[in-house]
Structure 1
């Protein structure tokens, strides 16, 4: 079993994919596999994938029509052989020390690890720090480019909810937080996230629907969840 499965969903990503795959190749942590889940691209994406997979057997791939990015994400974790699963965008870039730095931390009993990420908007790069005290019940506290999750957790939660087009990655974090699985913040920069054209209004609407469906807009429910998490963490740290 590999330590980490890095999953990349692609569709007509020939212009950017080589950067993402090179950033995987340049990791100074070697115990990984990279799974590319392609949605039947019509440009040269598959030629790029074949180039990397022929050089290194740790790259695996599939190309077939899919129902969008979260359908591809679900295919990815089902194909994964790693203990941990990480999702990288086809136009994003892993930083070279990411996994080495994570696994040097005391994370043996943790289920979800999250940290910081950098945003790239038209060449302007900014570091986004996640909060060390998570507020997932009230808002999306981080980005999937700065989260690594045990595969068994994703399996237990039955993967991503494909009813959401934009924020299913937030939804799975909320559901993991409600369980409650053990979350840990690490002050590590994971990746450079290239910002696309999705409006903040659309993201806000879907995030609200996620909180409503998971009943985290209720103050009593939130208080009960936080108390339960406090008890779990106290037992965990004994």
Structure 2
């Protein structure tokens, strides 16, 4: 049996996936199998994959009806023979020497998971790098780290989250653990949820300081799988990450003040991302529908309770108001709209010199029936003084 099973899902990518394949097969460490999952491609990808397999006995190709990427990963895991599984996207690359480096750590430490850094590069359509490591992930881990038991691993779960190591599936997983869980196939962030789901199984883990993986963020959004697109389920997905992570930490008795503030900061950054996603391709909502969704969906009991617990109500309001203001800058809301109060509140709050009418507009907006969490009151209290009862 090989040490590593490298699983590479591919769909209509005859241009780049041979380069990704070469980055795997040219590794100095050769005790591997490469499983190419052709996800119902309609270009020359199937023929190219079969030719690659004919030329290298370490390669296996599975042709399947189109099922999407995470189903492909699940299918690859089920047939993998290696002691460990690793995933490589068909338009990314494994860095030279990566498998040798990971094999050395496996042979010495036998970890359940090796967490590996992904370097994100902005590039052109020829994979020419325009901006190297644009998210500065290479600086987040400065030395190798070994967690030798479950307690040590759990003590460092927030560290792994902060270091962005749990945000994707590009880690080396012991196959016996990986096979117990399946990636969801209905959200683009299923990799992050997968890491939360398998975490209770992990007893030992290694964090590798050297980056092993290059991810390409193409200048054209058309060439990126999930970046720059609107799905409509972003809010529910990010709430799921938050709730599952919080449950995990509670189960481990690790939900402390540091965890609370990390989860709150992370969730509110994601909330701003949700608001900006309204401007992405595929969002066919009208301006009124967007504002209605903010008040009726984005502002929910989980979000508001988290803001109260963490003392971040003002941050929550600022992010909501800022997000709505960006929408109003792009498009005008009709004065006849039932949601026009939101526009009036933001315009009045931004005025340097306010008159009585402006204060009335702000207060009326705060207590408007559609504004059930009274967004704006933190700033209104500051305006009129903390002693006045809003």
**TM more than 0.5:** yes
Note if contact 1:86-1:148 (Cα within 8 Å) is conserved in structure 2.
yes
Q: Give the alignment partner of residue 224 of structure 1, picking from 222, 240, 253.
A: 253
Note if contact 1:137-1:211 (Cα within 8 Å) is conserved in structure 2.
no
Q: 2:66 corresponds to which residue? A: 66
Q: 1:40 corresponds to which residue? A: 40
Which consecutive unaligned segments of at least 5 residues does structure 2 have?
124-128, 146-155, 218-223, 257-390
Deviations 1:66-98 (A, max 9, x none): 321110000000110100000000000111200
Residue 13 and residue 220 in structure 1: after superposition, are their counterparts in 2 closer, same or farther (change >3 A)?
closer
Q: Which has the higher helix share?
A: 2
Cα distance in 2 for partners of 1:155, 1:179 equals 12
1:29 and 2:23 equivalent?
Answer: no
1:140-219 residue pairs with structure 2 within 5 A?
Answer: 141-142=164-165, 144=168, 146-156=170-180, 158-163=181-186, 165-195=187-217, 196=224, 197-199=226-228, 205=235, 206-212=237-243, 214=244, 216-217=245-246
Q: Which has the higher strand share?
A: 1
1:95 and 2:95 equivalent?
Answer: yes
Cα distance in 2 for partners of 1:154, 1:226 equals 26
SS for the counterpart of 1:60 is: strand
Moved more, 125-134 or 76-85: 125-134
Cα distance in 1 for partners of 2:248, 2:199 equals 16
Q: For the aligned residues, what is the CA RMSD?
A: 2.8
Moved more, 112-121 or 25-34: 112-121
1:140 Cα deviation from its structure 2 partner: 8.1
Deviations 1:159-193 (A, max 9, x none): 21224x21111112112223343222111211111
Residue 174 and residue 53 in structure 1: after superposition, are their counterparts in 2 closer, same or farther (change >3 A)?
same
SS for the counterpart of 1:62 is: strand
Residue 125 and residue 80 in structure 1: after superposition, are their counterparts in 2 closer, same or farther (change >3 A)?
same
Cα distance in 2 for partners of 1:169, 1:180 equals 16
1:223 Cα deviation from its structure 2 partner: 5.9
1:113 and 2:114 equivalent?
Answer: yes
Q: Give the alignment partner of residue 137 of structure 2, picking from 116, 119, 128.
A: 128
Note if contact 2:111-2:206 (Cα within 8 Å) is conserved in structure 1.
yes
Moved more, 140-149 or 44-53: 140-149
SS for the counterpart of 1:194 is: strand
1:144 Cα deviation from its structure 2 partner: 3.8
